[in-house]
Amino acid sequence: MRLPLAMLTPMAVNFSSDFTRYDQKLEFILRTAARIFAEKGYHSTTMRDISRATKVSLAGLYYYCKSKDELLFLIQDNCFGRVLERLEERLQETAEPVARLRLVIENHLSFFAANMAEMKVLSHEADSLAGEMYAHVAGKKQQYTRLVRRILADVQAEQKLARPKLDLTVATYALFGMMNWIYNWYDPRGKLSVRDLVDNLTRLYLSGFLVGPGAAEPQAAARPAKAERLSVWRGAEG
């Protein structure tokens, strides 16, 4: 009898060597579940739905997870972990606040676009867990929020003689709102490329919708990182 990915421990997955058949199938179940959760919502999705879509019997699912809650948790935790991990890596590139802010936006959006289902589940089902599982994910969220807020504060500190400064809490959540809302409208396979999305949202957030009275100040978005490991999952194609 195998144990599912250890919960509530810093290093949930053994990345080093063996990506066993068990791991692969669990991941496949999680990917499928994420897709269905994103489509119909967590509470409207039944274990029978997931059973049908994965072609694993209803009882069989419980060999890979111990509850429906845990499925949601594993999806959210895994997904959030990757976003944070990837961001922290990339932030080591530079110490310049504005550049770091651009990286935040680029990272969040390109990851979101590459994992719409999982990220929608992360954003939209934020309150669907309870107890320890909720606390664990909420902790990661707070960590992420603090990091971004700190970067915004650095940007603000850099700006000289600014008139009444924007409230940092508002600015932080406005940024997240702008970015997380995309699951309500953005289609990564549509006309608007991820690059254009990132570019537009970066310019909008940094310089606003009005064209200022000042000069042009061209603002490229952060250049996208090499397209490695953009999917949340290890197996196959994201």
Question: % helix / strand / coil in the chain, to the nearest 5?
Answer: 60, 0, 40
Among residues 7, 12, 13, 47, the one that binds DNA under rule CB under 7 A: 47
Q: Rounded CA gap, 79 and 66, in Å?
A: 19
Residue 197 contacts its own copies per CB under 8 A: yes
N-term to C-term CA, the chain: 29
Nearer to its own copies, 10 or 164 (CB): 164
Instruction: Convert residues 157-196 into a mask of x (bound to its own copies by CB under 8 A) and - (unbound).
Output: --x--xx--xx-xxx-xxxxxxxxxx-xxx-----x---x
Decide if 91 contacts 100 (C-beta within 8 A): yes
Decide if 77 contacts 12 (C-beta within 8 A): yes
Nearer to its own copies, 58 or 174 (CB): 174
| Among its own copies, DNA, none, residue 48 binds (CB under 5-8 Å by kind) | DNA
Nearer to DNA, 130 or 170 (CB): 130
Decide if 198 contacts 106 (C-beta within 8 A): yes
Q: Rounded CA gap, 95 and 131, in Å?
A: 37
Residue 76 contacts DNA per CB under 7 A: no
Instruction: Convert residues 138-157 into a mask of x (bound to its own copies by CB under 8 A) and - (unbound).
Output: --------------x--x--
Give which of 225, 231, 203 is closest to 113, Cα–Cα: 231
Nearer to DNA, 19 or 63 (CB): 63
Cβ atoms within 10 Å of 161's Cβ, excluding its own: 4
Residue 7 contacts DNA per CB under 7 A: no
Residue 63 contacts DNA per CB under 7 A: yes
Q: Rounded CA gap, 144 and 148, in Å?
A: 6
State the residues that interact with DNA by CB under 7 A. Answer: 1-2, 20-22, 25, 45-48, 56-60, 62-64, 66-69
State the residues that interact with its own copies by CB under 8 A. Answer: 41, 43-44, 98, 101, 124, 126-128, 152, 155, 159, 162-163, 166-167, 169-171, 173-182, 184-186, 192, 196-197, 200-201, 203-218
